[in-house]
Amino acid sequence: MKKSQHQTNTGSEFAELSFKPAFGWDIGLCLLVAVCAALLMPLDDADLPMHLATGAWILDHGRLPLTEPFAWTRMGAPFFAYSWLPEVAYEGARRVMGLVGVSVVHAVTVAGAVVAVWDLARAARWSLWATRLMLSVHVILWLLVQPATRPQLVLAIALPMAWAAAYRLRSATSPVAGLVMTLLAAALAVNSHLLFPLTIVPVVVLLGAERFRLSRVAAFVASTVVGWLCTPNALHLLDILRLNLGANALLGAASPIMELEPGFGFLIKAAVGTKLVAGGLLVLPLLPFYARLPQRERWWLGMAWLAGLGLFGLAIRGLLLWWLLAMPVVALALASIPLPTLVSTRRAVVGAWVVAVFAPIGHALKARELLGPVDGLPHPEAKALAPAVRWLTCATAGADSAGGVARGTTVFDDGSYLAWRVPSVSWSVDGRTIFPDSVTRAEAGQQLRYGAVVYPPWRHGDVVLLPATHAVAAVIDADSSWQRIAITPGADAAAAVGVWARRKWMNDRPNGAACVSDGRK
């Protein structure tokens, strides 16, 4: 018997459907706005240079690295490019179209996130307004709360795909299509982000089904595991998790990095929008619609919601993961809200929704306006580092033929940009998560927490680039084996950097002294 348009998506009585499976103007509007905003968003994320550098290494060597490819302080230590797929896409596009190509890849990824949520709406049979609101919140979260060009954005595609696959497995007579989608979602996630295990969470849809079928649950789990093995890193998945999720100097309650702060502590000082989103997610199990769900479904969807809450509690960046894990519950909550009956009122609601959808474009334009001209990639440190970058590029030209790659010492904030901008130097620390086995772990941890100063390993390097006000600057100046390079600071003197080179290293490079004038330009 054909299902009625007014049948509920869970069999409960509270959420009437006005679902339209066709691709309508509303979906098209969300897609257009998302793509335009993504194209306009400046590429100013602090982690993007390392993603480009990793992508470049993979393309140049034709394989994935298994030992540290960048920092001389960890040479020989294990290293896994678990985000290799988006990193290669970023760098490949940059080589073809320049930095515009990176923006195009970002826009395509955002578009994929919109399409994935729309497909989830079709599979779960969300109401028309639940679909519209879920799409708009999805776009706003990934373009306003987390606008960065990061591999994490791929999870905004993979998780909705996994949810949609689970819903199709629950309702379809033949499981083939759902299993293929499950495998693809897992494979996309495992080649893009460290948190690929989250793609197993949508199994709760099958566990909470009124008609429980163990065979479908087992098939979903098996297909997900097979998808996880569809990666060049298949033999190293446990090593990847152990290395990157182990004890870390930058994790915990005292983390100086905002997105790694515990979520609930951060909410006290967070922006109003963030408080509203987190607060809305927090009260979902207290709303009447939740109590009217079948007990089995309420239990298992609640477990997914609770897992997301735990990730948010660990770090503020978990807010987006919480959203991805709570999507089915949020959609049901939105579907339970009664729509106004008057045509004029409904038009006003549609108008307000359209205005809200366009918010990411305004945000992108404002961010681009505030950024101003930059040297190379629009990195937060680019302006201050530009003179030093010019000198280093000149002084290290032909470094391989003049005694090998130079060893550079820098600080956590600058290392990522320098690893990409000056690849002729191996930097002591490059802005990634500090691995448990890194010799710079204590330095980065203490320095970022503004505690006791731990000097970076400058005595064992060839060049040093540090903030001009760094405590070790005077120590290096007092060492006769080192030479300070006279580089004119940029417009912001407070953000000026100091550059030093070992005298013996300078003498081995005839063009070293000549490059000093280039640094003043």
Q: CB of 328 within 8 A of CB of 205?
A: yes
Q: Is residue 366 part of a domain?
A: no
Sign of the Cα torsion 99, 100, 101, 103 reads: positive
User: Of the candidates 185, 217, 245, which is a domain's last residue?
Assistant: 245
**pLDDT tens-digit readout, 365-395:** 887 777 655 666 777 677 778 888 888 888 8
Question: So what's the pLDDT on residue 497?
Answer: 83
Residues 143 and 167 in one domain: no
User: pTM of the prediction?
Assistant: 0.87
Residues 105 and 160 in one domain: no
Q: How far apart, in whole angstroms, are the C-alpha atoms of residue 165 and residue 222?
A: 13
Residues 3 and 96 in one domain: yes
Residues 309 and 424 in one domain: no
Six-digit token string for 377: 């990639």
Residues 161 and 109 in one domain: no
Cα-to-chain-centroid distance, residue 313:
18
How far lies 163's CA from each of 88, 119, 325, in Å? 27, 10, 9
Residues 402 and 262 in one domain: no
Q: Is residue 387 part of a domain?
A: yes
pLDDT over threshold 60, residue 112: yes
pLDDT over threshold 50, residue 520: no
Domain that holds residue 230: 151-245
Q: Is residue 213 part of a domain?
A: yes
Domain count, the chain: 4
User: Of the candidates 116, 149, 182, which is a domain's last residue?
Assistant: 149
Q: How far apart, in whole angstroms, are the C-alpha atoms of residue 130 and residue 25?
A: 15
Q: Is residue 373 part of a domain?
A: no
Q: Is residue 405 part of a domain?
A: yes
Q: For 324-353, what is the mean pLDDT? A: 81
Residues 279 and 395 in one domain: no
Residues 131 and 62 in one domain: yes
**pLDDT tens-digit readout, 256-292:** 666 777 777 777 776 777 778 888 888 888 888 888 8
| Beta bridge partner(s), residue 78 | 67
User: Of the candidates 149, 170, 190, which is a domain's last residue?
Assistant: 149
Q: How far apart, in whole angstroms, are the C-alpha atoms of residue 207 and residue 177?
A: 19
Question: So what's the pLDDT on residue 138?
Answer: 92
More confident of the two residues 493 and 259: 259
